[in-house]
Structure 1
Amino acid sequence: MECLTHFRLLYLLLVLSIAMSASMTEDLGTYIIHMDKSTMPMTFSSHHDWYLSMLSSMSSSDGEHPTHLYTYNHVLDGFSAVLSREHLDQLEKMPGFLAIHADTFGRFHTTRSPRFLGLDKNAGSWPEGKFGEDVIIGIIDTGIWPESESFKDKGMGPVPDRWRGACESGVEFNSSYCNRKLIGARSFSKGLKQQGLIISTPDDYDSPRDFYGHGTHTASTAAGSPVRDANYFGYAKGTAIGIAPKARLAAYKVLFINDTDASAASDTLAGMDQAIADGVDLMSLSLGFEETTFEQNPIAVGAFAAIEKGIFVSCSAGNSGPEGYTMFNGAPWITTIGAGTIDRDYAADVTFGGGILTIRGRSVYPENLLISNVSLYFGHGNRSKELCEDFALDPKDVAGKIVFCYFNQSGGVSQVREVDRAGAKGAIISSDSEIFIFPSFFIIPLVVVTPKDGDLVKDYIIKSENPVVDVKFLITVLGSKPAPQVASFSSRGPNNMAPMILKPDVLAPGVNILAAWAPKFALTWVGENGLLTDYILLSGTSMSSPHAVGVAALLKSAHPDWSPAAIRSALMTTAYVLDNTVGSIIDMDTGVAATPLDFGAGHINPNMAMDPGLIYDIEVQDYINFLCGLNYTSKQIKIISRRSKFTCDQANLDLNYPSFIVLLNNNTNTTSYTFRRVLTNVVNSPSVYRASVKQPSGMKVNVQPSMVSFAGKYSKAEFNMTVEINLEYARPQSEYIGNFGYLTWWEVNGTHVVKSPIVSAFAL
């Protein structure tokens, strides 16, 4: 509420300022003036001079003169100025005048992913979840850059009494750097040191300070404070804000820049252990270890201990897609997050021949460079030059020119470097490859156009005696479609270690996410020059996990009694599977509809997750029974559960999970499997639900009972779902996925909808 009060105060001050100005001067205003450039007198060398001449000729009774603000060269023909009513009357009578509009003030834009998730300060999960107030998120990562504006604690109350953590001093890090937002910071490097990996400046800081920036980025994504005018070299300009902006942050540094850029398992476990001891409510880990049985995986082991304490654990799914069975962090007690795009893109406008052809392409080139009337080069007739292959371009041919290339499947970075090596001014590459979503590719003035537009460019070059081009960079496109899409790099399920659990669980924003950065590490380069910045665009499932943990923090704040499994269930059963064109979510790699093995239950929907109606809850003992079902030995289970006494009398691979997957064997034609589930009502009233099934192709699904009733909050109801699959008709979509559909529980005379995917997959 302090934030809202602050904005109201600013508004009152603004109104007061305007009123005082009006009492002292004539009613001046800012206006945008549209002009007909074709009527410009020949005596002026430029339209800018013409506009200035018009303004200087104006007068008013009190002697006030107009003030020129901007001359527009691309977005419109005209200018903006501060004018009085008398000035307006004079301007409207001048030759060439077309129209005038009063300047308007737009609402603040965020770094987009909160808005894309539907977060609104006035309604939905932000106010209902109290913006994550006093919930503590532990970020297990590369540390923190505490001076970032994203970690300011303005308006935050005292640190919760239950917090037991500390802020450690170390290399270039002092305990005083912590505050009421960043309430803890610790570093764990003993394991790396023991392996001979020395950690010291300038390679990294042996302290909680973030050298690389990754931990700063993930922390600010999850719970960063509002920061106005954040941007990436002019792109994505707006107010950066975390998903749970009033949550507290604790940073645990376990990743260091060294010869392996890795984290020792011992250090990671120490960090997770300390986070549990300190009293975090949630953890996010945007890292992964080689997939092994769970007792050998430090994250799986640490996460089991965390969920026993009621701590929700979110982990990145990995960046090894788009192939199947590439999933990391697939333990069923972890909430595993895949990466999707948001409805924001970055562009450049390319104009050919002085206006013959204009195309909008993708670009994240980080300079407001003026490219005007520059010659174009295309190696027409020489395929090697058309593809800009290594050492294909002759510097004598391309120096100072923009080179047009067709994408080479083995190229990308190598093509960009070849253009740079040859001394060209920049490049236009025709490609639909998703690799060009990464800003790190744009080390030269580069625009990527679609193959369809690329053909238009080629046709223009071939038919023109002197092909030339203009390029306008630094364009941010909002509302781009379709979105979300599953990022090609996002790891796909099933998970090798437990393929009978559908993974990933959900999809969250993970492509070109703007968040805070360590300003001493240059990830962006132009030529040989590293560019430093406080905010940067990054892509990866590393970015999607903090989005999910931020939403989970909102749910935890609103429902403090919910278990980690309950929170995950709410995220899954309310997720959506349609994009902003109302079509199926697309797989960026294939360009066709994605499947639950790509996006899990769907894309997270915070506002719906706040009130899911029903949940699929899971007890710790259920996970132990699951490990028994995997035929884990007593030793393996003890390592994970830390229990000296347990039995496997109720071994069971059918966890009470909010999704369903049937593993198929190509040696059989027909298979049948029955899932047993328990639903829990989380609404303060009785309710009745009816089941409906979107039958997957080649499958017959039967739900019994098809109607369930609940007496009140936390009452339960059981059901069985039998799936029969005829492999003769259930043809696989790929080498590992069969078909999929959905089970949906509809509230009778109510609004709640509880949806779960049903998918078949072929076992490796």
Structure 2
Amino acid sequence: MMRGPSPYLVLPVFFLLFCFTASCNELRRVYIVYLGEHKGLRTGREILEDHHSLLRSVKNSEEEALNSVVYSYKHSINGFAALLTEEEATKLSEMEQVVSAFPGEARWSPHTTRSWEFIMQEEGLQGWELEWMTSKAKLGKEVIVGVVDSGVWPESQSFGDAGMGPIPERWKGICQEGDAFDSSNCNKKIIGARYYLKGYEAYYGSLNRTYAYRSPRDHDGHGTHTASTVAGRVVPGVSALGGFARGTAAGGAPLARLAIYKVCWPIPGPNPNIENTCFDADMLAAFDDAIGDGVHVLSVSIGASGVPPKYSNDGIAIGALHAAKHGIVVACSAGNDGPAPATVSNLAPWMITVGASSIDRAFDSLVLLGNGVTIKGQTVTPYVLKSSELYPLVYAGDAVVPGTPGNVSGQCLPNSLDAKKVRGKIVVCLRGSGLRVAKGLEVKRAGGAAIILGNAVANGNEIPVDAHVLPGTAVSSDDAIAILKYINAARRPSAKIGSARTVLGVTPAPVMAAFSSRGPNRVEPNILKPDITAPGLNILAAWSESSSPTKLEDDHRSVKYNLYSGTSMSCPHVSAVAALLKSLHPDWSSSAIRSAMMTTAAVVNTRGAPLTDAAGQAAGPLELGSGHVRPNHASDPGLVYDASYEDYLLFACSSIGAQMDPSFPCPETSPSPSDLNYPSIAISDLNGSVTVRRTVTNVGPGATRYRVTVTEPTGVSVSISPGVLSFKRVGQKKSFSVTLKARGTPGKVYVAGSYTWSDGAHVVRSPIVVSVA
């Protein structure tokens, strides 16, 4: 759950931290001062002196300037994090060499047996029996993937290094020691680990080590889950909670090396195990180190809720820009604020933004009602009811303590249920406010026998499974309504819940997850986000043994593997594909790798029908981007859309009117944001007609000829010139123009189409999204 820090914690912490440096008339907090790229070869001491010099210009003394530094970014990113007043930050932002100065806030939150097998079967392939992966990509053998998250549980079998060769020579990182973590916890799989919390502690004060290790060790579970999804070793006989999702667990690039960058920490409050946050200053330090350490891919399952910052004030966007300059692929989660539109985060075009979809696996649990009707639920709860007889059934809204607000009475919030009314009964709770697993905890506290969790209408048939602390299951929104109607009609409503079983081959699949954040892009609507979708619903992967499967403080179970849902889970799937492509094509740029995945993505499900959302409606580019990732197809895309660091700087000039690098002045007239050489086209407020240009690079056969076909968006004509591209050699580039003309579609209605280049062997598809003024 994404939630900002409590305002009640801020003032006491700031006064303790900052009053020794100056009078307390002005509050100081951490600001990031971003200066662009380092120029020339300079030592860390020279860089630090430059940063101190800037600080001395706004501070009262050299000592105060030195004491104010939180981080000095020195590898690729030029800038620093420092304790500043708003006035000091404003003065710095007005200096010519400063790109931006912005608060280093806690905007950010951390957003598998079957999933990889499903991806491969969807392409008509079988598990790991892939020639391109085994002999060409070598399962990512020499590729280093950096995971920016909540740390790692190094003892997991997923991180063993048996049979792995020497650490790649390009690796320059360290294995940082700390609480319950020393150099022996790194090996030939986890080749490095670091942690960052100066930004966090400047805000919250000293870390509470009851809920987190002051080291790269993961207390939460989230970082371990994402790291093993990217590059976990092949581990047979894995299951969750004693038998669910049994199979062989493996990451997508099981021989890739892992570098761990821990930046996420628990939010002090009532649920420190549940809620984590990640500060800009700490994340930017991690990006800076990762670039210097020599990673090839960065997997960042972290994002922001609410109004997204513009690129020059966005720690992840700044870090990803510098990573892209150094050829590092950055994959980021799209966010979990769907299905509402315009909720997608991580919006910069130099990163891959990943939505979440389902796989073909379910965990069926039958609910038998007293009227003989059977309803199919979903659960991974290992507990079963003591009796096979029917139990009394009650709706939570009819069993609350006096004073419970009517709008949340059916949601089983903490201390809301009347024990006299629920004891020994199955309680129907509704999704909405509060954590799903906490609702089961409330039923157990009040003496209920079991929980049936009903989906909200927005979630439809999509059911993230939970390991409840008592017998229970979850049902779709339609089935929840049917159960409530039965309760209202019956004199003595009753039910029983059957034990759950794992079911494979569920169709249709994939389906877009309701929680997956949607476009359009709120920072730059002329760039389509998300870019792509991948499995993110009920994914099994390694887990921290310091965290229970529910992460509730009152849940004392410990598991080695856990099922988890979110775009946090889909992001590392794409990061793994990027690692495999990096191994196959080490000379490809990060934009070429993104293009290969996007233009070969699937837009149909296993039935051959268009991909749908959780409500059964057709899903378009604002939900799924270019489509569902297909690794094998991405390995040989035919054509790619490439973009350089300078292209991105020009884009920033036109999009946000800002220099992202002081050495690259914005021209008097910048190209339209829509002209960035992106593998998709998004046009906002089309008025009349507009023409955009694209350039493709041939990465397929030397001599080949491509023809274009177009599926026009409703109410928009699309013409492409030329309609044929002929290539004589690998690496040759060809440009074309795309003209879109409005034909009277009502304003602000987004319509979608596509255009596709094909030479008979390769299909290179790009989505088109248009809103008409």
Indicate the residue corresponding to 2:768 in structure 1: 758
CA distance in 2 between counterparts of 1:371 and 1:715 reads 71
Q: Map 1:377-388; keep pairs closer than 5 Å.
A: 377-378=393-394, 388=410
Whether 1:285 aligns to 2:300 is: yes
CA distance in 1 between counterparts of 2:148 and 2:264 reads 8
Q: Map 1:678-693; keep pairs closer than 5 Å.
A: 678-693=695-710
Indicate the residue corresponding to 1:531 in structure 2: 557
Count how many residue pairs are aligned between Structure 1 and Structure 2.
635
Residue 555 of structure 1 deviates from its aligned partner by 0.6
CA distance in 1 between counterparts of 2:384 and 2:616 reads 32
Unaligned runs of 5+ in 2: 1-111, 121-125, 269-274
Secondary structure of the structure 2 residue equivalent to 1:314: strand
> Do 1:371 and 1:469's aligned partners in 2 also have CA atoms closer than 8 Å?
no
> Residue 724 of structure 2: which of 707, 711, 721 is its match?
707
> Do 2:681 and 2:768's aligned partners in 1 also have CA atoms closer than 8 Å?
yes
Residue 298 of structure 1 deviates from its aligned partner by 1.2
CA distance in 2 between counterparts of 1:381 and 1:315 reads 39
CA distance in 2 between counterparts of 1:601 and 1:657 reads 12
Indicate the residue corresponding to 2:513 in structure 1: 487
CA distance in 1 between counterparts of 2:372 and 2:171 reads 65
Residue 724 of structure 1 deviates from its aligned partner by 0.7
> Residue 656 of structure 1: which of 669, 677, 690 is its match?
677
Using structure 1 for the length normalisation, give the TM-score: 0.77
Indicate the residue corresponding to 1:638 in structure 2: 661
Which has the higher mean CA deviation after the structures are superposed, 139-148 or 344-353? Answer: 344-353
Secondary structure of the structure 1 residue equivalent to 2:586: coil
Residue 265 of structure 1 deviates from its aligned partner by 1.7
Indicate the residue corresponding to 1:133 in structure 2: 141
CA distance in 1 between counterparts of 2:654 and 2:576 reads 33
CA distance in 2 between counterparts of 1:699 and 1:520 reads 55
Indicate the residue corresponding to 1:185 in structure 2: 193
Indicate the residue corresponding to 2:651 in structure 1: 626
Residue 621 of structure 1 deviates from its aligned partner by 1.3
CA distance in 2 between counterparts of 1:551 and 1:161 reads 22
> Residue 543 of structure 1: which of 558, 564, 569 is its match?
569
Whether 1:601 aligns to 2:626 is: yes
> Do 1:524 and 1:530's aligned partners in 2 also have CA atoms closer than 8 Å?
no
Residue 574 of structure 1 deviates from its aligned partner by 0.3
CA distance in 2 between counterparts of 1:695 and 1:205 reads 54
Indicate the residue corresponding to 1:295 in structure 2: 312
Whether 1:362 aligns to 2:378 is: yes
Indicate the residue corresponding to 2:603 in structure 1: 577
Task: Report Cα offsets for 1:349-392 as digits up to 9, x if no partner.
Answer: 33467x95544321222335554113233569979999856699
CA distance in 2 between counterparts of 1:532 and 1:380 reads 29
Residue 473 of structure 1 deviates from its aligned partner by 2.1
Indicate the residue corresponding to 2:232 in structure 1: 224
Cα 1:374–1:725 shift into 2, 3 Å: same
Cα 1:649–1:177 shift into 2, 3 Å: same
CA distance in 2 between counterparts of 1:144 and 1:541 reads 19
* AA aligned opposite 2:118: F
> Residue 238 of structure 1: which of 239, 247, 262 is its match?
247
CA distance in 1 between counterparts of 2:285 and 2:417 reads 53
> Do 1:505 and 1:600's aligned partners in 2 also have CA atoms closer than 8 Å?
yes
Secondary structure of the structure 1 residue equivalent to 2:556: strand
CA distance in 1 between counterparts of 2:456 and 2:655 reads 43
Secondary structure of the structure 1 residue equivalent to 2:276: coil
> Do 1:685 and 1:712's aligned partners in 2 also have CA atoms closer than 8 Å?
yes
Indicate the residue corresponding to 1:11 in structure 2: none
Secondary structure of the structure 2 residue equivalent to 1:212: coil
Secondary structure of the structure 2 residue equivalent to 1:678: strand
Secondary structure of the structure 1 residue equivalent to 2:247: strand
> Do 1:426 and 1:446's aligned partners in 2 also have CA atoms closer than 8 Å?
yes
CA distance in 2 between counterparts of 1:601 and 1:192 reads 36
Residue 632 of structure 1 deviates from its aligned partner by 2.1
Which of these two proteins has the greater Rg computed from alpha carbons?
1
Using structure 2 for the length normalisation, give the TM-score: 0.76
Indicate the residue corresponding to 1:697 in structure 2: 714
Residue 411 of structure 1 deviates from its aligned partner by 8.5
Cα 1:139–1:243 shift into 2, 3 Å: same
Q: Map 1:424-503; keep pairs closer than 5 Å.
A: 424-429=448-453, 431=455, 433=457, 434=459, 437-440=463-466, 442-450=468-476, 469-503=495-529
Q: Map 1:241-390; keep pairs closer than 5 Å.
A: 241-259=250-268, 261-289=276-304, 291-351=308-368, 358-367=374-383, 370-378=386-394, 388=410
> Do 1:371 and 1:471's aligned partners in 2 also have CA atoms closer than 8 Å?
no
Unaligned runs of 5+ in 1: 1-109
> Do 2:230 and 2:572's aligned partners in 1 also have CA atoms closer than 8 Å?
yes
Indicate the residue corresponding to 2:79 in structure 1: none
Indicate the residue corresponding to 2:75 in structure 1: none
CA distance in 2 between counterparts of 1:380 and 1:285 reads 38
CA distance in 1 between counterparts of 2:216 and 2:336 reads 26
Cα 1:697–1:242 shift into 2, 3 Å: same
CA distance in 2 between counterparts of 1:446 and 1:247 reads 39
Q: Map 1:6-17; keep pairs closer than 5 Å.
A: none
* AA aligned opposite 1:423: G
Residue 295 of structure 1 deviates from its aligned partner by 1.5
Which has the higher mean CA deviation after the structures are superposed, 418-427 or 227-236? Answer: 418-427
CA distance in 1 between counterparts of 2:396 and 2:146 reads 56
> Do 1:372 and 1:469's aligned partners in 2 also have CA atoms closer than 8 Å?
no
Indicate the residue corresponding to 1:616 in structure 2: 641
CA distance in 2 between counterparts of 1:684 and 1:620 reads 27
Whether 1:554 aligns to 2:583 is: no
CA distance in 1 between counterparts of 2:493 and 2:342 reads 48
Task: Report Cα offsets for 1:34-72 as digits up to 9, x if no partner.
Answer: xxxxxxxxxxxxxxxxxxxxxxxxxxxxxxxxxxxxxxx
Cα 1:527–1:400 shift into 2, 3 Å: farther
Whether 1:120 aligns to 2:127 is: yes
CA distance in 1 between counterparts of 2:476 and 2:146 reads 42
Task: Report Cα offsets for 1:168-188 as digits up to 9, x if no partner.
Answer: 111211011111111111112
Secondary structure of the structure 1 residue equivalent to 2:509: coil
> Do 2:394 and 2:493's aligned partners in 1 also have CA atoms closer than 8 Å?
no
Indicate the residue corresponding to 1:672 in structure 2: 689
Cα 1:460–1:195 shift into 2, 3 Å: closer
CA distance in 2 between counterparts of 1:328 and 1:381 reads 35
* AA aligned opposite 2:296: D
Task: Report Cα offsets for 1:471-510 as digits up to 9, x if no partner.
Answer: 3323112122222222222221122222111111101111
Secondary structure of the structure 1 residue equivalent to 2:188: coil
Cα 1:205–1:398 shift into 2, 3 Å: closer
Task: Report Cα offsets for 1:59-92 as digits up to 9, x if no partner.
Answer: xxxxxxxxxxxxxxxxxxxxxxxxxxxxxxxxxx
Whether 1:738 aligns to 2:750 is: yes
CA distance in 1 between counterparts of 2:520 and 2:373 reads 47
Indicate the residue corresponding to 1:402 in structure 2: 426
Secondary structure of the structure 1 residue equivalent to 2:637: coil
Residue 708 of structure 1 deviates from its aligned partner by 0.8
* AA aligned opposite 1:363: T
CA distance in 1 between counterparts of 2:372 and 2:655 reads 66
Cα 1:287–1:412 shift into 2, 3 Å: closer
* AA aligned opposite 2:503: V
Q: What percent identity do the matched residue pairs reach?
A: 42
Residue 297 of structure 1 deviates from its aligned partner by 0.9
CA distance in 1 between counterparts of 2:356 and 2:666 reads 38
CA distance in 1 between counterparts of 2:131 and 2:434 reads 45
Indicate the residue corresponding to 2:54 in structure 1: none
> Do 2:341 and 2:518's aligned partners in 1 also have CA atoms closer than 8 Å?
yes
CA distance in 1 between counterparts of 2:489 and 2:671 reads 73
Secondary structure of the structure 1 residue equivalent to 2:726: strand
Cα 1:197–1:509 shift into 2, 3 Å: farther
